[in-house]
Amino acid sequence: MSTIEQQLRHNLTLVYQRIESACERAGRHPANVTLVAVTKSAKPEWIAPLHALGVHDLGENRPQQLIERGPAFPNSRWHLIGQLQRNKVRSVLPQTTLIHSVDSLRLLQRISDIAGELQLTTRVLLQVSVSGEASKQGFDPGDLRRDWAACRVLPHVQVDGLMTMAPLSDDPELARPTFRGLCQLRDELACDAPAPILSMGMSHDLEVAVEEGATLVRIGSALFEGLA
């Protein structure tokens, strides 16, 4: 086993242990939490061994990098977790398993239109700015409540849940209100239609996210620590 594989295995074990511990505290089963490996800063030669270790869900922040890497790793499930501009929709859709970052009804309508032209059904999450920070993109919770019915009836898109980003902080506990708010909003909206996925939590705050109901955690630096 190469040094890269050894380091990745070590890091992956630690991340899974963190997820399992958080699930135990929350009375959840670890199988209900999916790890999405964020490969934004990962070298291509790190991705293949990660896949061999059983991590098949990969996330990219930049649409162009996803477009380039998708064909190179066709057996992976690619997630777009960063901002998607409307002019990139057509090239991104064929490569993605799930788009986490749909931040407006206008963008969702564009995805539906292009997916129809490509004869696809595209799975998406709606990004919500729970914290209300100006720097955080996404639906305002009140606007999403208003637009929820319109989001659910568009053809060629399947709204599978919600995504959020917590305020940056050295204290993971400060993310808890944001994650709890997203879970509560999901439960409220799910009275009209199921939306089971909650994408929230990154390397520094994944425990809090899992404790508050995350079903997808987006992990980058904790997986690739020690590699250069």
Instruction: Give, for 31, the enclosing helix (H) or strand (E).
Output: none
User: Contact at 8 Å (CB) between 206 and 219?
Assistant: yes
What is the pLDDT, as a whole number, of residue 213? 97
- Which domain CATH number covers 36? 3.20.20.10
- Section 107-120 average pLDDT: 98
Cα(first)–Cα(last) distance of the chain, in Å? Answer: 17
Domain that holds residue 160: 3-224
Assess whether pLDDT exceeds 80 at residue 75: yes
Q: What is the average pLDDT across 80-108?
A: 96
Q: Give the chain's largest Cα–Cα span.
A: 53
> Can you tell me the distance from the alpha carbon of 53 to that of 59, in angstroms, rounded to the nearest whole number?
16
pLDDT at 100: 98
Lowest-pLDDT choice from 108-122, 155-169, 179-193: 179-193
Contacts of 190 (CB under 8 A, 6+ apart): 196
User: Is this structure's pTM higher than 0.85?
Assistant: yes
The confidence score (pLDDT) of residue 1 equals 65
What is the pLDDT, as a whole number, of residue 195?
A: 81
Is 36 a residue whose pLDDT tops 70?
Answer: yes
Position 194 confidence tier, pLDDT thresholds 50, 70, 90: confident
Are 105 and 151 a contacting pair, CB within 8 Å? yes
Report whether pLDDT(55) > 90: yes
Both tokens assigned to 117: 């032209």
3-class DSSP state of 172: helix
Asked if the model's pLDDT at residue 132 lies above 80, the reply is: no
- Closest to 110 in 3D by CA, of 88, 86, 92, 127: 86
Question: Residue 63: what residue type?
Answer: P
Q: Please, what is the average pLDDT of the chain?
A: 94
Confidence (pLDDT) at 131: 80
What is the number of other CB atoms lying within 10 angstroms of the CB of residue 199?
27
pLDDT(62) > 90: yes
Cα separation of 206 and 10, whole Å? Answer: 18
- Number of domains the chain is built from: 1
Calpha distance 52→55 (Å, rounded):
7
Strand, coil or helix: what is 158?
A: strand
Q: How far apart are CA 128 and CA 214, in angstroms?
A: 14
Please list the residues that pair with 158 across neighbouring strands: 123
Tell me the angle at which helices 141-153 and 176-189 cross, rounded to the nearest 10 degrees: 40
